[in-house]
Amino acid sequence: MTSREVFVDLDPTPLWANFSRIAEIPRPSGHESEVIGWIADWAATRGYPSRRDTAGNIAIYVPGSLNSPGSQTTALQAHLDMVCVRHADSRSDPMTGNIEVIRDGEWIVAPHCTLGADNGIGIAAAMCLAESNTTPHGPLELLFTVEEETTLKGADNLDPDLVHTQTMLNLDADVFGELTIGCAGGTWTILRWPAPTDPVPESWLIADIVLSGLTGGHSGVDILNNRLNAIKGIVWLIRALQAHIPFHLCRLEGGDAFNAIPVRSHATIAFPSAEASALDGYLARAQSHLAARFSATDPHLSVSKATVSSEGVKCWPDQSWDRLLHLLTTIPSGVVAMEQHAPDLVESSSNLGIVAMRGDALEVHSLSRSSVAAAQEEIVTSIASAANLAGSDFAIVPPVVPPWRVPPDSPLLGVVKASYRNLFQRDPKLVTVHAGNECATIQRRVPGLDVVSIGPDIHQAHMPGERVSVPSVVKFHALLCEVVYRLAT
Angle CA(488)–CA(118)–CA(168) in degrees, nearest 5?
20
Closest-CA residue to 452 (of 460, 465, 442): 442
From CA 338, how far away is CA 343, in angstroms rounded?
Answer: 6
Give residue-wise pLDDT tens across range 407-455: 999 999 999 999 999 999 999 999 999 988 899 999 999 999 999 999 9
From CA 468, how far away is CA 117, in angstroms rounded?
Answer: 7
Beta-ladder partners of 265:
211, 254
Q: Which amino acid is at 104?
A: D
The whole model's pTM is what?
0.83
* pLDDT for 140: 98
Domains and CATH numbers, the chain: 4-183+403-487 (3.40.630.10), 187-401 (3.30.70.360)
Within 8 A by CB and 6+ apart from 389, the residues are: 327, 330
Mean pLDDT for 41-68 is 97
Mean pLDDT for 342-351 is 92
* pLDDT for 1: 45
Residue 408 CB neighbour total at 10 angstroms: 9
DSSP states along 284-343: HHHHHHHHHHTTTT-TT-EEEEEEE--TT-EE--HHHHHHHHHHHHHS--EEEEE-SS-T
Q: Helix, strand, or coil here: 233?
A: helix
Give residue-wise pLDDT tens across range 73-118: 999 999 999 999 998 889 999 999 999 999 999 999 999 999 999 9
Give residue-wise pLDDT tens across range 178-236: 999 999 999 999 999 998 899 999 899 999 999 999 999 999 999 999 999 999 999 99
